Structure 1
C-alpha cells in the first residue's frame, strides 16, 4: 500500500467503533442520515445484540498519527441468506483525507480473504448511480468487480442502483 499512514487491521469491533463509524460516514458527505442509521444498526447487531452469532462481519482499519489512534476505514459484509457461497459487501468507507492511498483496497483484500477462508465464492456490492458515487463505482471496477445490473430509479427518481459482483478465487498454494 502506498500510504503515509501506518495501518492496523482488525476483524472485531470495539464498543467505541460505533461513534467512529458514524463520524467517518458523516465526514464522507455521501450518506443520508437514514443510511447512517442503517450502518449503525449493523454495528449494534454485532456489538450488542448477537455478538459472534451476528450475520454482520467487520474489518476495521486504524491508523496512529502523532500518538493518536483513529479509524481510517471499515467494511461490513456478510453471507447472503439462502445462498451456498455468496456474500454482500454492505459497507466500505475510508476517511476522506485518506482516500486514494490504498486503504480501501487493503480492507477489501482482507474481506475477500475472510470470505474465501469461510468457503465463500462470490462477493456482491451495490451503489448509487448518482454522480457523487462515481468514485465508489471506479473503486469497485479497479478492484475486479463487474457491473452486473442497473435498477433504474431504485433509491429515488433518477437515482438507480448499480449491482457489482466478483468471483473470488483462493490463492494458489505451492
Structure 2
C-alpha cells in the first residue's frame, strides 16, 4: 500500500463519489452541492480531505468549525471505500484531521453518529481512538433512532 492523506482537490470528485457510494456514507449525488463552497469560496472554513492509495481515492473526510464556538469542530463525514476497509485507513484519517485541527489551535472535535445497528462499528471505533460518548439526543434521526455525539479534547 502506498497511502497518502491530503486535502481534496476538484480532480478528486469522481473518486470521492465512488467512496461515498461504496461506503454507504451518503448518496454520491449529494456531493456536488456539499463540496461546492469548498471549491468556490476562498474564505470557506470547510475541510475536505482524502486518502489516496496507489493513485486511487479510497477515503473521504469532511469537517467544519461549529459556528459561534471557539475552536470546536464537527467531523460531518468520514468514509472508506468498501474494498479498503479494515486496513487502518479510518484511523489514519482521524489522526490527519486531529493534527490539522491542532495546527489551527482547535480545542475540540465532535463526531455524530446514530444508534442504528449499522453504526455499531462506528461507535466502537470512536471509543477505541479516544472519543468519549458525550450526548444522546433521542429520536433525532427518526423515531427510535437517536443521535450519539462523541467528543475529544485536542
Could you tell me the TM-score, scaled by structure 2's length?
A: 0.92
Aligned-partner SS, 1:155: strand
What corresponds to 2:50 in structure 1?
60
Equivalent pair of 1:85/1:119 in contact (CA under 8 Å)? yes
**2:15 paired residue among 20, 26, 29:** 20
CA shift, 1:30, in A, is 4.8
What corresponds to 1:41 in structure 2?
33
What corresponds to 1:172 in structure 2?
none
Moved more, 54-63 or 121-130: 54-63
**In 1, Cα distance between the equivalents of 2:123 and 2:96?**
20
**In 2, Cα distance between the equivalents of 1:30 and 1:63?**
19
CA shift, 1:36, in A, is 5.9
What are the within-5 Å matches in structure 2 for residues 1-174 of structure 1?
5-11=1-7, 13-31=8-26, 33=27, 37=30, 39-47=31-39, 49-51=40-42, 53-64=43-54, 69-168=55-154
Gaps of 5+ in 2: none
The 3 A distance-change label for structure 1 pair 23 and 106 is same
CA shift, 1:59, in A, is 2.0
Point out the structure with max Rg over C-alpha. 1
Runs of 4+ that moved beyond 3 A: none
Gaps of 5+ in 1: 169-174
The 3 A distance-change label for structure 1 pair 142 and 120 is same
Could you tell me the TM-score, scaled by structure 1's length?
A: 0.82
State the number of aligned residues.
154
